[in-house]
Amino acid sequence: MTSICVFGAGAIGGLIAAKLESAGTPVTVVARGPHCEAMRANGLALRSDGREVVTRPRVETDPRSVGAQDYLMLTLKAHSLVPAMAQLKPLIGPDTTIVAAINGVPWWYTYRLGGAFEGRRVEAVDPDGVVSAGLPPAQALGCIVYPAADVVEPGMIHHTYGDRFTLGEPDGSRSDRAAKFSELLIKAGLKAPVRARIRDELWVKLWGNMAFNPVSALTGATLDKVLADPGTHAVCRALMVEGQAVAEKLGVRFAIGVDKRLAGGAEVGAHKTSMLQDLERGRPLEIEALLGAVVEMAGWVGVDMPIGRSILALVRQRAEVR
């Protein structure tokens, strides 16, 4: 039987665990606090498509009692990886596939990238190589998360929209491990295409996140207001143009244009970005994975990002003075 552990079983992790369990695929979740206690006592409940189901994944607080897994799905935010390294170690063996369901530039980004930047460390998300040492890039499987969900109360996940988790190997290969995990997600009622050029799709999502999240956090505005206002719309567009220049220097091909991506963001409506939600709740911000890493890579490829550098500095300052 395939062993699967979801580490960071909050909204997205809980959604995945509940979906897999509902489809008959056993899952272990590592959690803590009231959410953990509620799942142990009452199960993991998922509200989705007007229905509510209660599942019973194995719930643990100590990864040492779980052991090495076939698939370890990480649904943390990127800045939580370094503090979690010691906890993650018991879950990873030589054959463990690490499914990186994390927003932003991932620690494995330059693994098998090819060209001049092959294997270069992105300090913004892998300071001093700590993450790569604990999570070997050769064992990583890229995963782009599209659904939105919330933990509405301990043990209860509300899935609001989206059902796609795009998978891809850093080297573009069609691996058995990617195909198998895709099959498990599809069996669970999710869309899980495997893409040869995972970085292209990663950038389309990052393209919006690197602009919408920090601008929303700085203004306190929901996404519809950010993109309806001519001033903040212009800032987002300029920031995305800078990001596109960096990505294309790294070999990325964009399937859509910047204005279509902006229009797609506007269609989401009165949505509080995750960064704005974190700011309001006093949580650390994922600014380094979403923008800091892009500014860092801009220096590699000789692209100037004056808007990006300014927004990055403002958000860092905002985070410090909360």
Q: Which amino acid is at 185?
A: L
Give the tens place of pLDDT for each residue, 81-122. Answer: 999 999 999 999 999 999 999 999 999 999 999 999 999 999
| Closest alpha carbon to 305 in 289, 288, 284, 291 | 291
pTM: 0.95
> Cα separation of 194 and 168, whole Å?
5
DSSP helix/strand/coil, 22 = helix
pLDDT band at 161 (very low <50, low <70, confident <90, very high): confident
Q: Which amino acid is at 80?
A: S
Task: Answer whether 75's CB lies under 8 Å from 35's CB.
Answer: no
Asked if residue 211 lies in contact with residue 236, where contact means CB atoms within 8 angstroms, the answer is yes
Residues whose CB falls within 8 Å of the CB of residue 128, separated by 6 or more in sequence, listed in order: none
Q: In whole angstroms, give the CA distance from residue 114 to residue 126.
A: 19
Identify the pLDDT of residue 36.
Answer: 93
List phi, psi (to 5°) of 35. -60, -45
Per residue in 270-288, pLDDT tens? Answer: 888 999 989 999 999 999 9
Pairing of strands 140-145, 165-168: antiparallel
The Cα 37–Cα 154 span in angstroms is 8
The tokens of 16 are what?
Answer: 């995945």
CA distances for 10 relative to 13, 39, 119, 130, angstroms: 5, 11, 31, 24
Q: How confident is the model at residue 322 (pLDDT cuts 50, 70, 90)?
A: low
**Phi-psi map region of 196: left, alpha, beta (phi>0 left; psi -120 to 50 alpha):** alpha
Token digits of residue 19: 């979906």
Quick one: angle between helices 198-219 and 258-267, nearest 10?
60
In tens, the pLDDT along 238-262 reads 999 999 999 999 999 999 999 999 9
Reply yes or no on whether the pLDDT at 157 is more than 90: yes
Q: 51-55 and 97-100: which strand pairing? A: unpaired
205 catalytic? Reply is: yes
In the set 89, 180, 187, 205, the catalytic residue is 205
Q: Is the dihedral angle over the CA atoms 79, 82, 85, 86 positive or is it negative?
A: negative
Helix (H) or strand (E) run with residue 299 in it: helix 293-301
Q: Which residues pair with 47 in a beta bridge?
A: 52, 158
